[in-house]
């Protein structure tokens, strides 16, 4: 891989992938809607070219994809637009990959698996989504697999990390970084899984560099499961944070959904806070060795330090 396009380069996982590719000596086209944000994040990087555009504009996407070997799809659109636009979104990316005979590496979530009934989820776990968004993700996966384009689909748990703003943990960490009262989404006594974005980026770039990884789905777990209460305890130990952390319940999100369409869409995914899906990384480790795994203590510390330096 000599040249890669990262779609959604200014998001949490896209940012981490760009940084990881730079470390590997890969020339990167950073694609996102806002050039000023791309410049802010990567302006000092000599091996990154900023390319602002709209993924729904094929001219923008084709221009960005010129001469690339691999396209990393790390972008997303609001939940409220998924039903109408997510398949079109991916269809445009597939068309761009086909135009350059490029490979496609997709950052995916766990929605298509549906409920796991407490079992660790491996790649051969039956995908039986019970939510609208899970069914949409499964349709998008089918679209990729039927495209004829060499693909890697990597499933991740919820993200946290530097520049990972559109995440559940970000709402908690934002209050902490500002030394204000904060909140945690879901029951703080239920253990669930998160992944530090630099770890996820290392793993997915490893997959992208291995020809035998293509044509397959891969599960990339985080450091393990952790309770919300334990996250708060680690934060307090790391940075002497003493403010209160309240709980955001499903009923609170449902109430907010009366006034906000995207919040209405969040309600159906709340089951992940009550019945967490935990991924098995055994397939990855069989082929590549130990997964990149930063402890929650260190990952939270680095994330909060980044937020205080860059976002406040």
d(CA 29, CA 150): 20
d(CA 30, CA 46): 12
Over residues 163-168, mean pLDDT: 91
Closest CA to 34 of 51, 46, 15, 18: 51
Backbone φ, ψ for residue 71 (5° rounding)? -110, 125
What does the pLDDT read at residue 157? Answer: 96
Exposed (0-12), middle (13-18) or buried (19+): which is 264, by Cβ within 10 Å?
A: middle
What letter would DSSP give residue 268?
A: G
d(CA 205, CA 108): 14
Q: Are strands 225-227 and 191-196 parallel, antiparallel or unpaired?
A: antiparallel
Within a 10 A sphere around the Cβ of 32, how many other Cβ atoms? 25
Q: Higher-confidence residue: 254 or 100?
A: 100
Task: Give per-residue pLDDT as tens, 168-204.
Answer: 999 899 999 999 999 999 999 999 999 999 999 999 9
Domains held by the chain: number: 1
Show Cβ contacts of residue 69 under 8 Å, excluding neighbours closer than 6 positions: 1, 2, 3, 4, 102, 103
Within-domain flag for 171: no
Residue 240 pLDDT level (bands cut at 50, 70, 90): confident
Residue 31 pLDDT level (bands cut at 50, 70, 90): very high
User: Considering the entire predicted model, what is its pTM?
Assistant: 0.95
What does the pLDDT read at residue 250? Answer: 82
d(CA 3, CA 70): 7
Q: What is the biggest distance separating any 2 CA atoms in the chain, rounded to whole angstroms? A: 54
Within-domain flag for 50: yes
Within-domain flag for 306: no
Task: Give per-residue pLDDT as tens, 244-301.
Answer: 999 998 888 776 655 566 667 778 888 898 999 999 999 999 999 999 999 999 999 9
**8 A C-beta contact, residue 77 and residue 114:** no
213: pLDDT strictly greater than 90: yes
Q: CATH number of the domain that 145 lies in?
A: 3.40.50.720
**Strand segments (E) across 12-113:** 27-32, 48-52, 70-73, 103-108
d(CA 304, CA 246): 19
Within-domain flag for 172: no
Parent domain of 101 = 3-163+195-223+277-293
Within a 10 A sphere around the Cβ of 242, how many other Cβ atoms? 7
Name the one residue in this structure whose structure tokens are 């055994």: 282
Within-domain flag for 258: no
Packing angle, helices 296-310 and 168-177, rounded to 10 = 60
Within a 10 A sphere around the Cβ of 92, how many other Cβ atoms? 19
Within-domain flag for 71: yes
86: enclosing H helix or E strand: helix 82-99
d(CA 105, CA 249): 35
Backbone φ, ψ for residue 109 (5° rounding)? -100, -160
Within-domain flag for 264: no
Q: Residues 261, 56, 131, CA angle at the centre, nearest 5°?
A: 40
Within-domain flag for 7: yes
What letter would DSSP give residue 281?
A: -
Residue 239 pLDDT level (bands cut at 50, 70, 90): confident
């Amino acid at each position: 891989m000599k040249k890669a396009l990262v779609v959604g380069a200014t998001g949490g996982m896209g940012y981490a992938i760009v940084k990881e590719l730079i470390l590997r000596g890969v020339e990167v086209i950073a694609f996102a809607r806002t050039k000023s944000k791309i410049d802010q994040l990567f302006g000092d990087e000599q091996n990154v070219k900023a390319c602002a555009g709209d993924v729904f504009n094929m001219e923008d996407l084709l221009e960005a994809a010129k001469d690339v070997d691999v396209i990393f799809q790390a972008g997303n659109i609001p939940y409220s637009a998924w039903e109408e636009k997510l398949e079109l979104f991916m269809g445009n990316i597939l068309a761009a990959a086909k135009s350059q005979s490029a490979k496609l590496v997709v950052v995916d979530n766990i929605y298509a698996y549906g409920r796991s009934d407490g079992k660790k989820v491996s790649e051969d776990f039956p995908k039986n989504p019970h939510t609208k968004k899970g069914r949409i993700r499964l349709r998008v996966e089918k679209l990729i697999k039927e495209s004829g384009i060499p693909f890697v689909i990597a499933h991740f748990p919820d993200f946290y990390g530097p520049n990972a703003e559109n995440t559940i943990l970000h709402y908690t960490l934002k209050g902490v970084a500002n030394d204000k009262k904060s909140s945690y989404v879901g029951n703080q006594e239920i253990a669930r899984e998160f992944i530090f974005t630099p770890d996820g980026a290392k793993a997915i770039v490893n997959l992208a560099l291995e020809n035998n990884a293509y044509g397959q789905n891969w599960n990339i777990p985080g450091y393990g499961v952790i309770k919300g209460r334990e996250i708060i305890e680690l934060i307090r130990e790391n940075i002497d944070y003493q403010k209160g952390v309240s709980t955001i319940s499903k009923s609170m999100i449902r109430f907010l959904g009366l006034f906000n369409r995207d919040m209405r869409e969040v309600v159906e995914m709340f089951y992940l806070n009550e019945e967490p899906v935990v991924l098995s990384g055994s397939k990855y480790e069989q082929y590549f060795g130990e997964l990149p795994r930063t402890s929650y203590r260190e990952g939270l510390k680095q994330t909060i330090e980044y937020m205080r330096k860059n976002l406040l």
